[in-house]
Amino acid sequence: MDFAELKAAVAAGTVDTVLACIVDMQGRLMGKRFVAEHFVDSAWKETHCCDYLLATDLEMATPDGYKASSWERGYGDYIMKPDLATLRPVPWLEGTALVLCDVLDHHTHRDVPHSPRAILKRQIARAEAMGFSPMMGTEIEFFLFAKSFDEVRRSGYRDLEPISGYNEDYNIFQTTKEETVMRPVRNHLRAMGVPVEGSKGEAEVGQEELNIRYADALACADHHTLAKHAVKEIAWQAGHAVTFLPKWDHRKVGSSSHVHQSFWRDGRNVFFEEGADLGMAPPMRRYLAGLIRYTPDITFFFAPYVNSYKRFAKGTFAPTKAAWSVDNRTAGYRVCAEGTPAVRIESRIGGSDMNPYLALAAQLAAGLAGIEEDLPLADPTSGDIYGVDDATAFPLTLRGATEALRDSAMLRAAFGDDVVDHYVRCAEWEQEEFDRVVTDWEIARGFERA
């Protein structure tokens, strides 16, 4: 939907509400609902939000320790600048359109450096300066539950019942039962301009996967964010809960967000070279070497919460090593479509809770560093990589990922010290909040027997 189409829809009375949204550190949509007439009159130019929106946790707490936003600084305003190229209808909400906004400093009118969208745009610009257009696609996994969000919350998140009773991986009969949610998800997102290709049952009870066609990196992150939001709202409308928590039950496999990536120039995939080993051109080999070398540095952006690390477990299709392989789902990085013009890298490390802007930006930073440093790529690893001892390890706890982020010279050069320090504080706070809570596991294990 372009701006002229929006104005015509508002004049015709078919659109009465416009959602102006930023993306917060957790990858959620935050913003305002405008009366459509006001939006097309003036709010399309800019509006404002409190700067704490990029310095909160999942609970919307206001942690100390942030340089950019604090009680001492008075929690002022940011500018929300609508990106009219992202304007689109919201088909599952009556009379509603949505636009994504960039976050600008209220005084300088420049991008707020730690805004997720700004971080990704900066890495895209870096790639484009080298002559590359990053193209990316994500796979989105989640669990669908029989009860509603309200029912689940009132139960204290206990006795969770997935919508199905058995592993539904590729199962057409079971996923037919879930079409009250998944059919509107696919069709509404397509109508919204998000190029959904399809959905399938995943390898657990009640687990779904949504596939969206690859696009330029910024559009990919936009599509991913809009799709997650749509899944939650459409499931809620149908009376079901959904979770993007990577590991909601230690007995179940987790949910991921695999990222497919390649570089293009003049309409062709420059990761491909006819006659090269596996069809991998030198830029692809160096980019992949950078991903592997710097996986420890960027792990926090794949896995931002304590729960994220519960997913990394042997025999669950979630990787535990930053090795690469050819069409091998035990690897952290899988080369797909080898020997063809569609050759690409699939990163399998990210969880379903990742912020796509941050995860894509971090991978671009690592891969571009590999190209700049002309890093050599080791031979692919084969077989069961869970048991390979000499493969590159990455942090398997939030504490480890936080320290790797803090100490990353590569990310400090790519993102800037203030941005890295901002997200280090984000990681520290998440760990501090977990550390102060007594869990059900501790009580059940030690109440009588300790």
Residues in the chain: 450
Sorted by sequence, the CB contacts under 8 Å of residue 444 that are 6+ apart come out as: none
User: Helix, strand, or coil here: 386?
Assistant: helix
What pLDDT is attached to residue 384?
A: 77
* Token pair 């130019």: residue: 45
pLDDT of residue 217: 98
The pLDDT confidence band at residue 193, using thresholds 50, 70 and 90, is very high
pLDDT, position 383: 80
Q: What's the gap between Cα 128 and its chain centre? A: 22
Q: Is 236:203 a contact under the CB 8 Å cutoff? A: no
Instruction: Report the distance separating Cα 283 and Cα 160, nearest Å.
Output: 46
Cβ–Cβ < 8 Å for 396, 349: no
Least confident of 37-46, 135-144, 168-177: 168-177
**CA–CA distances in Å: residue 60 to residues 25, 53, 56, 63:** 11, 8, 5, 9
Alpha-carbon distance of 226 to 101, in angstroms, equals 13
Give the separation between CA 40 and CA 38, rounded to whole angstroms: 6
Mean pLDDT value across the chain: 95
Q: Would you say the C-alpha torsion 350, 354, 357, 361 has a positive or negative sign?
A: negative
**3-state DSSP call for residue 175?**
helix
Neighbours of 29 (CB within 10 A): 17
Class of the CATH-defined domain 122-441: alpha beta
Residue with tokens 């792990």, as numbered in its chain:
299
CB–CB of 79/46 below 8 Å? Answer: yes
Q: What is the pLDDT of residue 72?
A: 87
Query: How far from the centroid of its chain's Cα atoms is residue 92's Cα?
Result: 22
Q: To the nearest 5 percent, what fractions of the chain are helix, strand and coil?
A: 40, 20, 40
Q: Residue 78, SS3? A: strand
What was the pLDDT predicted at 51? 93
The predicted model scores a pTM of 0.96
Question: Do 41 and 127 meet the contact criterion of CB atoms below 8 Å apart?
Answer: no
For CA atoms 201, 202, 206, 209, give the dihedral sign.
negative
Residue with the bigger pLDDT between 304 and 384: it is: 304
CA distance 201 to 169: 5
Helices (H), 315-416: 356-372, 398-406, 409-415
Q: Report pLDDT digits (tens) over 307-350.
A: 999 999 887 888 888 889 997 788 899 999 999 999 999 999 99
Delimit the domains of the chain by residue range. 3-112, 122-441
Q: Which CATH architecture has domain 3-112?
A: Roll (3.10)
Q: How many helices (H) and strands (E) does the chain have?
A: 13, 16
